[in-house]
Chains A and B, each alone.
Chain A
Amino acid sequence: MAREISRKTPEDFLRECQAEEAAVAKGRLKIFLGYASGVGKSFRMLDEARRRRERGQDVVVGAIQPKVPPEVEKLLQKIEVIPLKSFGQDSAIDVDALIRRHPAVCVIDGLAYDNPPGARNPTRWRDVEELLKAEICVISSINIQYVAELREQIEGITGKQVRQTVPTAFIKSADEIEIVDAPSEQPIERLPEQQADAVKRGQQLSKLRELTLVLAADVVDHQLSDYLERHGIRQQFGAQERILVCITPRANVNEMIATARIIAERFHGELIAAYVKQPQTSAADQAALDEKMAIARAAGARIEVLDSENPVDALVDFARSRGVTQIFIGHSQRSGWWPRILGNPVDQLIRRSKGMDVRVFPQ
């Protein structure tokens, strides 16, 4: 359980050492993330390359899109380009030439490209991995459409099949990720018959934009927890909402989960459902618990089973260790003089959950 959260285990130390070693022996990866082509990723990448060059860094371009706007062309003229290597009709970045040339920084546009047969690696992101291993820093770019784990969602939005993808884990492994955002509305005047299409396209783009911003926020959140961990800080910043739904045999799970889900979705937060295992749970109660946990799971909640004699302590400690910002719990059914003086579990939870909101639900 989350009781001894402030003490580091040997595994923690090991992970830290490994993380530090990894950080030393590899080039840094920076990714520009956009929600569509034409938002200006290439420009931002090359503009950064230009600035680094002006600051004395050795920068080369390993890959750039075939067609670039004039302002990108202008930037490109000032930077050394290592040409792509041909494989039949197609081409891929020339990993050997880049490693031989060994610049400090290399610009690789279009992270999601698949390589043609015969190339060193099947995909461009694997090429990039090699460059990083060779201690070359890489500046790259990708559109949200090509993030592997979002594929189904993206296809649902655009109705188009996605072929080339990059795993989210690789994107999350980047040292830095930067959003290139632009308004999704297109201010161009249109013919009336094109208007409906334009509206649909606008809505698609804004959904893609939302996904992009949320993915970036998730990556940033991941980096933040890393940073806090590395510096031995166990506190949470609460930049992301995390909702903990406390499940009991008689909880009105449907209402709790429905509300939690709306709030988690709207806040782009995380949803966790937990119950505390207690020694004398009857078979009927256990069945009720299982059923309720299944509802929570189906709603996309992460499920946790806690083990403690004191449910209030267990829930509050768990919530703190996970940086929970809102606790959902059912109204207590207990009455009588004893709880009226000392408070029932709900009152105890409210009293102990300083720094978190508590939402009490009708049963």
Chain B
Amino acid sequence: MGYAAGVGKTFKMLEVAQDLKAQGVDVAIGYFEPHSRKDTIAKTEGLEILPRKKIEYRGSVFEEMDTDAILARRPQVCVVDEYPHTNVPGSDRVKRWEDVEVLVDAGINVLTTMNIQHLESLNDQVRQITGIRVRETIPDWVVQDADEVVMVDLTPRALLNRLERGVVYGREKAERAMQNFFRESTLVALRELALRETAHEVEHRHVNGHAAAPAKEGSGGKPKQHKILVLVSADPESAMLIRRAKRVGDFLDAECFAVAVQPSGDLSGLPQSDRESIERHLNFARNLHIETRILEGEDAALAMVDFARRNQITQIFLARPRDRVRLPVLGSDLVQRIVSLAKDMQIVIVSEREPLAR
């Protein structure tokens, strides 16, 4: 886990691979991105690099990791760079992390790399810090399933030094990068996020008795104390609301439900764009391992609170209403209504994190 390109993740990963090979472990490189960095390329020396798969898309040829070839070769340990990578259309799987799942399921140990900004649940905070909406994300549960998360650290000053000396990117690209993503304050904030997240990943493992530790009571069949309900709509804030609820839910060890409310109990009566948006949001929630429903009800507030009571929900997550100019008309404000209807529950009103003005 790193916080930016150039902190030395791939280098460190290859170092571990070399150590393992020296101990007699059968190691192969499944995918490696050289970025024409001399030191990193030198670290691959003596390691077997498996050929990539060529995939044609819109007249160009792209190279992706050849998962089948790795399965056939079956190394004990496989090195796979850039965990959050999205495969070119036409590949067997959409995401590289899905390819890695296949390898792990087949009993192959995998070493891989990622930066903190690709973690799904931090997407809004990362946008707040960097001003950039990262599109290529990886669901939190995928990272939580890893046996180990190790932080590869470098001070922002040292990273900027590397950048200036052209180690990370070519000179021109480096200059552009330093004006955007690679500002010192941005790097410091991302680094803090990465440190805290890694601390959380470490804690999560020793609390949940990952790997070697004996199973503790409570890790098994005990009913969850908290249950979270998330209201999903066609509004674009739904994605950030789902991310935030899931993040808090993971930390509270709570179960999550995401629901949309429609008078008919399905999405058929909606204009196409709204229907697609809601479907996209519910699908997004399912990808994060959140159970979804469409509730039937004329009054969304009543339907939500009723569902919550029947399902022992303890917390309802809602998006903060957008700022409006006019005064709220009596009863029109959904958030206000749910807050006043469900005084026996915790209601969390989640706010969009605006990118910082520079």
Binding site for B on A (CB under 8 A): 30, 176-185, 198-199, 202-203, 206-207, 209-210, 213-214, 216-217, 220-221, 223-224, 227-228, 231, 233, 235, 237-240, 259, 262-263, 266-268, 331, 340-341, 343, 346-347, 350, 353-363
**Beyond A350-B336, A362-B344, 5 extra complex contacts between A and B, CB < 8 Å:** A209-B199, A209-B202, A224-B188, A350-B320, A361-B346
B151/A213 in contact, CB under 8 A:
yes
**How distant is A270 from chain B, measured CB to nearest CB, in Å?**
12
Give Cα A198 to B185, complex, Å.
41
8 Å CB contact of B336 from A220, A227, A343, A362: A343
Give Cα A291 to B205, complex, Å.
37
8 Å CB contact of A181 from B153, B189, B200, B203: B153
8 Å CB contact of A235 from B205, B328, B333, B356: B356
Give Cα A185 to B196, complex, Å.
20
B252/A354 in contact, CB under 8 A:
no
Q: Write out, one digit per residue, whether chain B residues 347-358 have a CB within 8 A of any chain A CB (1) or not (0).
A: 111111110110
Q: Is the C-beta of B301 less than 8 angstroms from some C-beta in chain A? A: no
Q: Which B residues are in CB contact (< 8 Å) with A220?
A: 188, 191-192, 195
Q: Which B residues are in CB contact (< 8 Å) with A262?
A: 251-252
Give Cα A331 to B338, complex, Å.
11
Q: Is the C-beta of B158 less than 8 angstroms from some C-beta in chain A? A: yes
B212/A185 in contact, CB under 8 A:
yes
A237/B147 in contact, CB under 8 A:
no
A268/B199 in contact, CB under 8 A:
yes
B339/A237 in contact, CB under 8 A:
no
Q: Which A residues are in CB contact (< 8 Å) with B202?
A: 184, 206, 209-210, 213
B196/A213 in contact, CB under 8 A:
yes
A266/B200 in contact, CB under 8 A:
yes
B348/A227 in contact, CB under 8 A:
no
A358/B349 in contact, CB under 8 A:
yes
Given known pairs A199-B214, A206-B202, A210-B199, the reply for A178 and B150 (CB within 8 Å) is no
8 Å CB contact of A214 from B128, B188, B196, B211: B196
**How distant is B348 from chain A, measured CB to nearest CB, in Å?**
5
B184/A221 in contact, CB under 8 A:
no
**How distant is B12 from chain A, measured CB to nearest CB, in Å?**
9
Q: Which B residues are in CB contact (< 8 Å) with A343?
A: 328, 336
**How distant is B328 from chain A, measured CB to nearest CB, in Å?**
7
Closest 6 CB pairs of A and B: A213-B199, A266-B251, A217-B195, A179-B153, A239-B192, A206-B206
Give Cα A238 to B125, complex, Å.
7
**How distant is A70 from chain B, measured CB to nearest CB, in Å?**
12
Q: Which A residues are in CB contact (< 8 Å) with B222?
A: none
Give Cα A179 to B202, complex, Å.
14
Given known pairs A182-B150, A206-B202, A235-B357, the reply for A359 and B346 (CB within 8 Å) is yes
- Which residue of chain B has its CB nearest to the CB of A267? B251
B196/A359 in contact, CB under 8 A:
no
Q: Which A residues are in CB contact (< 8 Å) with B323?
A: 354
Q: Is the C-beta of B102 less than 8 angstroms from some C-beta in chain A? A: no
Given known pairs A185-B212, A213-B151, A238-B128, the reply for A224 and B189 (CB within 8 Å) is yes
Q: Which B residues are in CB contact (< 8 Å) with A354?
A: 320, 323, 351, 354
Q: Which A residues are in CB contact (< 8 Å) with B41?
A: none
Give Cα A216 to B211, complex, Å.
26
**How distant is B152 from chain A, measured CB to nearest CB, in Å?**
7
Q: Which B residues are in CB contact (< 8 Å) with A176?
A: 155, 157-158
8 Å CB contact of A347 from B158, B189, B339: B339
A331/B339 in contact, CB under 8 A:
yes
Which has the most chain A C-beta neighbours within 10 Å: B154, B323, B327, B353? B353
**How distant is A250 from chain B, measured CB to nearest CB, in Å?**
13
8 Å CB contact of B199 from A183, A217, A233, A331: A217
B192/A240 in contact, CB under 8 A:
yes
Give Cα A355 to B343, complex, Å.
24
Q: Which A residues are in CB contact (< 8 Å) with B152?
A: 181
Q: Which B residues are in CB contact (< 8 Å) with A216?
A: 153, 195
Q: Which A residues are in CB contact (< 8 Å) with B352?
A: 355
Q: Is the C-beta of B193 less than 8 angstroms from some C-beta in chain A? A: yes
**How distant is A87 from chain B, measured CB to nearest CB, in Å?**
34
- Which residue of chain A has its CB nearest to the CB of B225? A262
Interface residues of B in 106-139 (CB under 8 A from A): 125, 128-129
Q: Which A residues are in CB contact (< 8 Å) with B353?
A: 238, 355
Q: Which B residues are in CB contact (< 8 Å) with A178?
A: 153-155, 158
8 Å CB contact of B185 from A30, A182, A224, A359: A224
Q: Which B residues are in CB contact (< 8 Å) with A221?
A: 192
Q: Is the C-beta of B276 less than 8 angstroms from some C-beta in chain A? A: no
Q: Which B residues are in CB contact (< 8 Å) with A177?
A: 155
Give Cα A181 to B8, complex, Å.
13
A268/B147 in contact, CB under 8 A:
no
Give Cα A30 to B154, complex, Å.
11
- Which residue of chain A has its CB nearest to the CB of B226? A259
Q: Which A residues are in CB contact (< 8 Å) with B354?
A: 354-355
- Which residue of chain B has its CB nearest to the CB of A353? B351
Which has the most chain A C-beta neighbours within 10 Å: B195, B336, B343? B195
Q: Which B residues are in CB contact (< 8 Å) with A223?
A: 188
Q: Which A residues are in CB contact (< 8 Å) with B357?
A: 235
Q: Which B residues are in CB contact (< 8 Å) with A346?
A: 339
**How distant is B189 from chain A, measured CB to nearest CB, in Å?**
4
What are 11 sample pairs from A and B whose C-beta atoms fall under 8 A apart?
A178-B155, A181-B151, A182-B150, A183-B150, A203-B206, A210-B202, A227-B184, A267-B251, A268-B199, A343-B336, A358-B320
A268/B129 in contact, CB under 8 A:
no
Given known pairs A223-B188, A354-B323, A360-B339, the reply for A30 and B200 (CB within 8 Å) is no
**How distant is B111 from chain A, measured CB to nearest CB, in Å?**
11
Q: Is the C-beta of B299 less than 8 angstroms from some C-beta in chain A? A: no
Give Cα A199 to B215, complex, Å.
12
